[in-house]
Structure 1
Amino acid sequence: MHSRSRSRVWCGTAAVVLGGLLVTGCGGDGQVDATDAADAGKAASGAYPVSVTDCMGAKTTFDSAPKKIVTSNASSLELLLRLGAGEQVIGTGFPPGKGTLPDELDAQAQKVQVLSDTVIPKEKLLGSGADLYIDTFASMNMGGGMGDAPTDEEFKAAGIKHIYLKSTACAATSKSALTDLSGVEADITSLGQVTGTSTKAKELVAAMKSKVDAVQKAVGSTAQDARPTYFFFDFDAGTKQPMAVCNRQVANAVITLAGARNAFAECDGDYKQVGWEDVISKNPDWIQLGVRNRGSKAANEKAFDEAEAWLKSNSATKGLTAVEKDHFLRIGSEQTTIAGVENATTVETIAKALYPGKVG
C-alpha cells in the first residue's frame, strides 16, 4: 500500500481528490479560490450542488449526497464511519480486521461487504453498483493478476464518481514538506461536504486541532536542535533495506508536530529506500516500531515484539542509541502514515513519550 507499489503517481485530472479547499500539495499550496469557498459554504449548510476540486483545479460536482459508496481500504471507510456516513457504504477493499477499529466503529465496519481483501478487481468495482468510489492512494499496481485500474471513461460509464484522499494520494508530488495536518483536516472537511455530514466533520477537525494545539503549547517552543531525532521503522516493508518516510509523507507532519525531528526529513517525496548505514549515520534518539495492524491486539503485540527483537539482535542496529536505551514506540503504521483522525492522537502519543511530564 505504500508509494513504492504505485505504478504511477500524479495529480492531474486522472486523480480527482477530496479537496474543495486546496491545501498542501499538488499545486494547491494552501490557496482557496472564490468558487471553492462558495461551494464549501453551500456544503456547510447542507446545500447542493457541491463541487470539489482535484489538485489541478478540475472539478467533480455532486448534486446530492452519494447513496452507494465503495472505499478502497479501511482508512477511508473509517473516516466515513466517524462522519456518520457508514450507512451509505456498500463495499470496501483492504477491510479492517475484527477488533482493529474502536468499539463503536468496529460493529459497523464488520457489516460492510468485503469486495476484496486487497485491491478491488476492476470488473468487481465497476459492477458494484456504487455511485462513488473513494480511493486513499493514487493509481496502484499491486500485481496478482487483478488488471489495470478503471479509466475515467469506464468510471463514468458505470455511473461512478472517483475521488481520492488528497493528503495521501498527492503527497509524493507536494511542492513543500508536510509539517501540519491541514491536508488531512481538509480531506475530512471535503468528505463531510460530499456526504452531507459537514457538522460532524467540523467536530472531528476541532477535536484534532485541540489535541495538536495542546501538544504545541507544551513542546512547540523547544529549539530545533534540542528536539530528539526520530526514525519510523517500517518493519513490514522488509528489513534487508529499510524504507524511510520522507518529508512529503503525513508521518513527517505527525513527527514534527510531536516535537521530534524526522531522521529523514531532508528526503523530498513520501518514501525512499535507504541503507542501514544511513540509519546508523543518523543514530536516532527514538525509533517507532511501525507495524501494520494484524487484526487483534495479541497479533499486534507479537509483531511489535518481533520488530524490537530484530533491532536488538541485528549487528547493524543493536548499537543505535535508541536501541541501547530501549527508546521504542509501539504505534501502528496506519495511524501514522495514512490520513485520518488518529493522526492527531499519534502526535499526542509520541509527544507524551518524548516529553514526559510536559504533555498531559
Structure 2
Amino acid sequence: MFSRISLSVAALLVGSVLAGAALAEPVTVHSCNRDVTFDKAPERAISNDVNLTEMMLALKLQDRMVGYTGISGWKTLDEKLREGVKELPELSPKYPSKEVLLGANADFFFAGWNYGMKAGGEVTPETLAPFGIKVYELTESCIFVMQKDKPTMDDMFVDLLNLGKIFRVEDKAEALVTGYRKQLAEIQAKIGHVDQPPRVFVYDSGEEKPFTSGRYGIPTAMIEAAGGTNIMDDVEKSWTEVSWEPVIEKNPEVIVIVDYGQVTAAQKIAFLKSNPAFKNIDAVKNDRFVVLPYVEATPGPRNIEAIAALAKAFHPSSM
C-alpha cells in the first residue's frame, strides 16, 4: 500500500513539474513584421480599444490585466463590455501615452496601428521595448507598417490563437476559433453560391467626405464572408477618407452604418436620405441600411454575429 501511494504522489509531482516547465517555456509569435518571444505569460497586460479588449475578455484574461485604454473617448463602451471589464480601470480615454503604460507597470500592450499606436509615434513596439513592455499588434492593422494580403476572417482568428499562445491558454483559444469557424461555415452554407454579390458601402462618418473601409479593412472580409462585395475594394487602404463621387458612381445596393461617437446611426441615415446628391443611390432609394456597432465592424469576437446580420440583409430569402 505504501509503495502504491508513494508512486501515485511521485507521479503527481512529476506531472506538476512537467506542466510548470511547459508553462515556463518561451513562446514566439509573429506580430506584423516582427517575431516576439515571451519567456513567460504576461501578468500586467493592457489592451487598447473596445474590440481588442473583447478579444482579451473572450479568453478570460481579466486577471492578467491591469487596465485598458482607448474606449470611452470614442464612446464605444456598451453594457456587454462594461460587465466584462468590471473593476478594471480605463487608464486613458483615447490613445495612451508612454507614461500611462509605464505608470501602470505594464508588461504587455495589445494594440494596433491606428488602434492605439501610430507609426513614428510616442508609443510603438520599439519605444516600449527598453521598458520591458512587449507589444502584440492587431493583424488587420499591419497594413500601416508593411505589405500584406487582403484580410480574411483568419486575421481575427490568428490574433486569438496568438493571444492564446502568449498567455498559455491555447486550448481556450483553439476552442473559441473552432466555434467561430463552425458558425461562419453555417452562415455561408445558408447563403450558398452568389452569382451577383450585392454592392456594399461602409459609412463610418463624415459629411463633406466619407470615412470608410477600403480593401484592407476587416469590413471587406466580413462583407465578402456574408456574400457581398465592398465597392471600395479598389482603394488600397484600411480605413480612409474618400470623396462622395465614386460612392455615387458605384451605386451601392446596401450601406453599412458604423455606429459610434457623437453622431448617431439614425443621424447618419437621415443625412444620406436628405441629401439630394444621394437620391439615386439604390441603397438610399430602397432604404437598405445595416447598422453595426463599432465593436462589430472592427476585428474581434463580435464579427461573426455581425456577418450573420450582414448576410440576412444581403440575402433575406436565404437567412
Q: If the TM-score is normalised by the length of the shorter chain, which range does it land in?
A: 0.7 to 0.9
What amino acid does structure 1 have at the position aligned with 2:235?
A: C
Could you say if the C-alpha distance between residues 92 and 358 of structure 1 is closer, same or farther in structure 2, counting changes exceeding 3 Å? same
Query: 2: CA distance between counterparts of 1:157 and 1:101?
Result: 37
Task: Kindly state the Cα deviation for residue 184 of structure 1 after the two structures are TM-superposed.
Answer: 0.9
Matches within 5 A, 1:1-360: 48-56=25-33, 58-95=34-71, 100-102=78-80, 105-137=81-113, 140=117, 148-150=121-123, 152=125, 154-170=127-143, 173-178=146-151, 180-223=152-195, 226-235=196-205, 238-292=206-260, 303-336=264-297, 338-359=298-319
Q: Give secondary structure in 1 for the equivalent of 2:55.
A: helix
Q: Give secondary structure in 1 for the equivalent of 2:189.
A: helix
CA deviation profile, 1:69-110 (whole Å, cap 9, x unmatched): 0112222211111101111110211136696152xx532313
What amino acid does structure 2 have at the position aligned with 1:83?
A: L
Task: Kindly state the Cα deviation for residue 349 of structure 1 after the two structures are TM-superposed.
Answer: 0.8
Could you say if the C-alpha distance between residues 153 and 247 of structure 1 is closer, same or farther in structure 2, counting changes exceeding 3 Å? closer
Task: Give 5+ residue unaligned stretches, structure 2.
Answer: 1-18
Query: 2: CA distance between counterparts of 1:209 and 1:174?
Result: 26
Give the strand-richer structure, 1 or 2. Answer: 2
Q: Give secondary structure in 1 for the equivalent of 2:200.
A: strand
Give yes or no for contact 1:283–1:320 (8 Å, CA) kept in 2.
Answer: yes
Query: 2: CA distance between counterparts of 1:171 and 1:158?
Result: 24
Q: Give secondary structure in 1 for the equivalent of 2:32.
A: coil
Give yes or no for contact 2:32–2:142 (8 Å, CA) kept in 1.
Answer: no
Task: Kindly state the Cα deviation for residue 333 of structure 1 after the two structures are TM-superposed.
Answer: 3.0
Aligned length: 296
Q: Give secondary structure in 2 for the equivalent of 1:111.
A: coil
Task: Kindly state the Cα deviation for residue 356 of structure 1 after the two structures are TM-superposed.
Answer: 1.4
Query: 1: CA distance between counterparts of 2:192 and 2:236?
Result: 24
In structure 2, the partner of 1:8 is none
Give yes or no for contact 1:228–1:354 (8 Å, CA) kept in 2.
Answer: yes
CA deviation profile, 1:133-171 (whole Å, cap 9, x unmatched): 1113257459xxxx9424656423322112211223336
Query: 1: CA distance between counterparts of 2:214 and 2:145?
Result: 9
Could you say if the C-alpha distance between residues 70 and 318 of structure 1 is closer, same or farther in structure 2, counting changes exceeding 3 Å? same
Choose 1 or 2 for highest CA Rg: 2
Query: 2: CA distance between counterparts of 1:154 and 1:172?
Result: 15
CA deviation profile, 1:280-304 (whole Å, cap 9, x unmatched): 101111111112267xxxxxxx812
Give yes or no for contact 1:93–1:118 (8 Å, CA) kept in 2.
Answer: yes
Give yes or no for contact 2:28–2:35 (8 Å, CA) kept in 1.
Answer: yes
Percent of paired sites with the same residue: 26
Give the helix-richer structure, 1 or 2. Answer: 2
Task: Kindly state the Cα deviation for residue 325 of structure 1 after the two structures are TM-superposed.
Answer: 0.7
Give yes or no for contact 2:50–2:295 (8 Å, CA) kept in 1.
Answer: no
What amino acid does structure 2 have at the position aligned with 1:66?
A: P
